[in-house]
Structure 1
Amino acid sequence: MVKSMTGFGRAISEEGTSRSFTIEIKTVNHRYFDLNVRMPRTLVSLENKVRETINSKISRGKVDVFISQNSYDEQDREICFNEEISDNYFRCLEKIKGKYDIINDISISLIAKFPEVITMEKKEEDLEQVWESLRTPLIEALDGLVDMRKKEGEKLHEDILVKCNNIKQLVDEIEEKSPIVVKEYKLKLEGRLSELLESTVIDENRIATEVAIFADKASIDEEIVRLNSHVVQLKENLLKEESVGRKLDFIVQEMNREANTIASKANDLEIVNSVINIKNYIEKIREQVQNIE
C-alpha cells in the first residue's frame, strides 16, 4: 500500500506525571529523507533515539518534529551552598573591616546575597526514565501521522489506477489503429502515383518496397509492448508494502519516453492525438507520484 509524504501527527503525554510532553510531527514531500528535530536543550542527549524511532516508520519526505516539555515536579531542583565562594567573600569582608577599622556587621543574610553563594540547580535526571515518558507520546504522534499518510496514499492509489486504465485503453486503440496506417499509406501512395503517371503502368514491386520501408520506420509494436509493460509495473508497485515513490517516478519517466517515441514514429493524426492524451495522463500521474513515499 502506497503512502503519501504529506501528513501531520500530534500527541500529549498523559496527565498525573511529574512532566508532560507535547509532540507535533509534520511531513511534506521531499526527494530524500530530511529530518529536523526541535527539542529542549535538556533533552538533546535523547535526540538520536527520537531520530531512530521516527526513521523506523518514515523512510522518505521532509520531516519536522517539535517537542516541548512542561515540568510539574517542584522537587526536581535543589538549593546548593557554594562554601568556597562564601569563604572568599567572608575573607574579603574581614580585610575591609581591618583596613578601615569599621564596625563588624557581617551577617548570614549579607553573605547569602552575594552572587553564586546560594544557587538553585536542576537535579540530574534519569535519562532512561525520561525517554520512557517521551517515547509514548512520540509513538502516538507517529502513528497518527502514518495513518494520515496511508489514507491519502489510498486516494492517490485509486486515482493513479484510473489513469493507468485510461492509458491502457488509449494504447489498445493505438495498437488497433497501427496496422491500418500502413494500408492507408499504400492506398495514398498508389493514388498519388496514378495521378502523376496517369496511363503509365505502376510498378507494384516498387510500391511494395516503399510500403515496406514505411512500415519499418512507422512500426511502434515494441513501444506499445514496453508502454503496456510499464503500466503493469506501475500497478504492481502500487501494491507493495515498501517505499516505492522513487521507483514509480522512474517508471513514469520511461512511460513518457515510449509515448514520445510513438508520437514521433506514427505518421497518423489520430494516433498522435491519442498520444497527447496519454502524455496528459502520464503528467498527472507524475505529479501524484512526487508525493508518494
Structure 2
Amino acid sequence: MLTSMTGFGKATLELENKKVSIEIKSLNSKQLDIFTRIPNLYKEKDLVLRNDIKKQLERGKVELSIFIESVGAEKETKINQPIVEAYYRQLQDLSEKLNISIDNEPLLNTIIKLPDTLKVEYQTLDENEWELIHKGAQSAIEELIQFRTQEGTALEEDIFSRIHIIEDLLSQVPQFEEDRINTIKTRINDNLNEFVEKQHIDKNRFEQEMIYYLEKFDITEEKVRLANHCKYFIETAQTHESIGKKLGFIAQEIGREINTLGSKANDTNLQKIVIQMKDELEKIKEQLLNVL
C-alpha cells in the first residue's frame, strides 16, 4: 500500500492562560529534513519533538510549528527595586552635598532610565503544561500520517491504472509483429535486388544472414521482461513498507525495456505503442517522487 509524503496535521490546546496551536506539514524529499518553529519557552524540548518525527515519518521535508496566543506574557518586566533605591539614596546625598534641590518625580523618571533599574523575568517551563503540548504534537503527527495514507491511496489508484495501461498496450504488440517481420524481409530483399544481380546471390548465405538480422530485431525477450517488471511493480507496491525508492528503480527498468522495444520496432504501429507507453511511464515517475 502506497503512502504519500505530502500531509498536514493540526492540534489546538486551551491551557490556563494561553491557547496553543500545533501545525505539522510535510512535502516530498529524498531524505528526512526537519524544520521547527517553536517559542523560546519550549526550545529545550526541540530534540524530543525531532525524535518523535524521526520515529514516525521516515522521509520527507517536515515543518513543525507551535504558535502561542497568551493571556499573560512569556516574559514579564519588573522594576529592580534595590537598584532604584540605591540610585535614589546616592542622588539625594549628592544633591545635599552640592546644595541642589531636586523634585522627587523628575528624579524618579531619571533613575528609571539608568542601567539595571528594570529586570526581565522569563517564565519557566511547566512540565505538566509541556506534557499536554507534547500530546498535542503527537496528535498532529498522527493526523498528518492519516492524511499521508489517504493521499497514498489516491496515488496508488492513479499509478496502478497507468501500469495497467502499459500492460494493455503490451498486449497489442503481437498483432503487428508478423507484418513487421514481413516488412523487414521485403525491405532487405528489395535493397539486395537493387544492388546485386540475382545470379550472384548465395541463397544459403542469404538465409543465414536474414535469420541473424531478424534475430537482432526479435522483441520476445523485451516483452517478457516488461510484463514481469509491471507485475513486480504491482506486487511491490502492495507491501506495507517504505518502497518509494524501490518503485523508482523498477520504473527505470520498465523504461529500459520500453526504450529497447522502440529501438527494435521498425514499425509505425509499434512506435505509436512505445510512445504511449513512455507517456504513461513519465506520469508514473512524476507520481513516484511523492511516494514514501
Alpha-carbon distance in structure 2 between the residues aligned to 1:41 and 1:199: 93
Would you say the 8 A contact 1:175–1:221 is kept in 2? no
Alpha-carbon distance in structure 1 between the residues aligned to 2:265 and 2:75: 78
Q: Could you say which residue in structure 2 is the equivalent of 1:97?
A: 95
**Matched residue SS, 1:57:** helix
Root-mean-square deviation (Å): 3.3
- Larger deviation, residues 97-106 vs 26-35: 97-106
Alpha-carbon distance in structure 1 between the residues aligned to 2:74 and 2:62: 35
Would you say the 8 A contact 2:222–2:260 is kept in 1? yes
1:27, CA displacement in angstroms? Answer: 2.0
Alpha-carbon distance in structure 2 between the residues aligned to 1:196 and 1:74: 96
Give a deviation string over 1:227-260, Cα, whole Å, max 9, x none.
Answer: 2222122212211222222222222222212211
- Larger deviation, residues 51-60 vs 178-187: 178-187
- 2:25 is the alignment partner of 1:53: no
**Mapping 1:106-185, distance limit 5 Å:** 110=108, 114=112, 116-117=116-117, 119=119, 121-126=121-126, 128-175=127-174, 177-178=176-177, 181-185=180-184
Give a deviation string over 1:171-219, Cα, whole Å, max 9, x none.
Answer: 2332564466335433554566678879859643133212212122112
**Matched residue SS, 2:9:** strand
Structure 1 125/202 Cα, relative in aligned 2: closer, same or farther at 3 Å?
closer
Q: Could you say which residue in structure 1 is the equivalent of 2:68?
A: 69
- Larger deviation, residues 131-140 vs 274-283: 131-140
**Matched residue SS, 2:57:** coil
Q: Which amino acid aligns with 2:90?
A: C
Q: Which amino acid aligns with 2:157?
A: E
Would you say the 8 A contact 2:258–2:274 is kept in 1? yes
1:170, CA displacement in angstroms? Answer: 1.8
Alpha-carbon distance in structure 2 between the residues aligned to 1:196 and 1:32: 61
1:95, CA displacement in angstroms? Answer: 3.3
Would you say the 8 A contact 2:8–2:23 is kept in 1? yes
TM-score between the two structures when normalised by the length of structure 1: 0.82
Q: Could you say which residue in structure 2 is the equivalent of 1:238?
A: 237
1:226, CA displacement in angstroms? Answer: 2.5
- Larger deviation, residues 249-258 vs 181-190: 181-190
Extract unaligned runs of 5+ from structure 2: none
Q: Which amino acid aligns with 2:8?
A: F
1:278, CA displacement in angstroms? Answer: 0.7
Extract unaligned runs of 5+ from structure 1: none
**Matched residue SS, 1:255:** helix
Q: Could you say which residue in structure 2 is the equivalent of 1:30?
A: 29
Q: Which amino acid aligns with 1:114?
A: I
Would you say the 8 A contact 2:84–2:111 is kept in 1? no
Q: Which amino acid aligns with 1:232?
A: K
Alpha-carbon distance in structure 2 between the residues aligned to 1:82 and 1:244: 64
Alpha-carbon distance in structure 2 between the residues aligned to 1:134 and 1:68: 11
Alpha-carbon distance in structure 2 between the residues aligned to 1:261 and 1:47: 52
% same residue: 33
- 2:23 is the alignment partner of 1:3: no
1:88, CA displacement in angstroms? Answer: 3.7
Number of aligned residue pairs: give it. 289
Would you say the 8 A contact 1:80–1:121 is kept in 2? no
Q: Which amino acid aligns with 1:124?
A: T
Structure 1 241/199 Cα, relative in aligned 2: closer, same or farther at 3 Å?
closer
Structure 1 193/73 Cα, relative in aligned 2: closer, same or farther at 3 Å?
closer
1:281, CA displacement in angstroms? Answer: 0.8
Structure 1 187/117 Cα, relative in aligned 2: closer, same or farther at 3 Å?
closer
Structure 1 124/111 Cα, relative in aligned 2: closer, same or farther at 3 Å?
farther
- 2:266 is the alignment partner of 1:270: no
Alpha-carbon distance in structure 1 between the residues aligned to 2:148 and 2:104: 69
Q: Which amino acid aligns with 1:273?
A: K
Would you say the 8 A contact 2:28–2:290 is kept in 1? yes
Structure 1 191/121 Cα, relative in aligned 2: closer, same or farther at 3 Å?
closer
Alpha-carbon distance in structure 1 between the residues aligned to 2:201 and 2:74: 108
